[in-house]
Amino acid sequence: MSPTQIDHFRTHGYLHLEGFHPKPRVAPLRQKLRDELKRLAGAKGGLSAVQRLPLFQQIGKLSALVNLPGLHEALVTPALLDFIAKLGHRAPPSAATGHPGTQLLLSPPQQGDWTLQGLNWHVDLAARPQDPLPGVQAFFLIDDVAPHGGATLALAGSHRIDTRRPASDSQPALRELLKDPLDLERRLGEQGLAIVEMCGRAGDVFLMDMRVLHTPSVNATKQPRMMATTRCIFGT
């Protein structure tokens, strides 16, 4: 990991590692997922039932219906853990000491028009900007994910803002600002923030400071979104 990458992560709260996992590693996972989704498309209570759920419940339900043995071992490699350890200046937990494992993030195709309205911006681990890095969340692209293809969105730079502080005339509450999609990206830019769409090619990995606000997004494409995630929380 280069000093430039470390500086980018500290400043923006995320890092895009293009082609981190080679194609031969992710190709078998992608094929198994395609087979599983094909099976669910013809099963009672399968894909059609998932698509009748509210938009973002579809992700959790579809991901829970698919079992992919070996997912964690294939994606959370020693090389990845070494990257994360360098960012945190200490080793993340191993599977033997309580690592939570790796979860699929699957979205059905054609969920509707892509929008920034009504998204579920949140953090999975609350911590103050001045605290040491509390954890790193990794997002894995198992298949190519096109823009507006359902990728997780991250609000780069939001780890530097304590969202629990009251708003002022010059600093509107960030979560309130995110509820209004009108000219949102320009207004975020005025605060030094930017929405990052975690799209890219199969094998790409995004590493994110767990204080960064992020959200699921709408998959407006004809292809299912195939991603996975793992959380590495540092001990005190």
CA distances from 180 to 157, 189, 204, 220, 233 (A): 19, 15, 31, 20, 32
Give dist(CA 115, CA 148) in Å, integer.
9
Per the model's pLDDT, the better-predicted residue between 182 and 201 turns out to be: 201
The whole-number pLDDT of residue 99 equals 53
What's the chain's average pLDDT? 90
pLDDT, tens digit, 9 for 90 and up, residues 71-94: 999 999 999 999 999 998 887 765
- List residues bridging with 194 in a β-sheet: 156
Of 156 and 43, the structure prediction assigns the larger pLDDT to 156
CB-based contacts of 51, cutoff 8 Å, min separation 6: 58, 108, 111
Q: For 54-80, what is the mean pLDDT?
A: 94
Rounded CA separation 65/116 (Å): 27
pLDDT band at 236 (very low <50, low <70, confident <90, very high): low
**pLDDT recorded at residue 98:** 44
Paired strand residues for 17: 205
As a whole number, mean pLDDT of residues 165-181 equals 68
Q: How far apart are CA 100 and CA 230, in angstroms?
A: 7
Q: What are the pLDDT digits (tens) for 124-165?
A: 888 888 889 999 999 999 999 999 999 999 999 999 987 655
**Which one has a higher pLDDT value, 95 or 234?**
234
Beta strand extents in 63-168 (DSSP E only): 102-107, 135-141, 153-156
Confidence of residue 1 (pLDDT cuts 50, 70, 90): confident
Classify 17 as helix, strand or coil.
strand
Whether 181 shows a pLDDT value over 90: the answer reads no
pTM attached to this predicted model? 0.92
pLDDT attached to residue 185:
92
Rg of the chain taking only CA atoms, in angstroms = 18
160 vs 45, residue with greater confidence: 160
Instruction: Give me the residues paired with residue 231 across strands.
Output: 137
Can you give the pLDDT at residue 168?
Answer: 47
Both tokens of residue 107?
């979205």
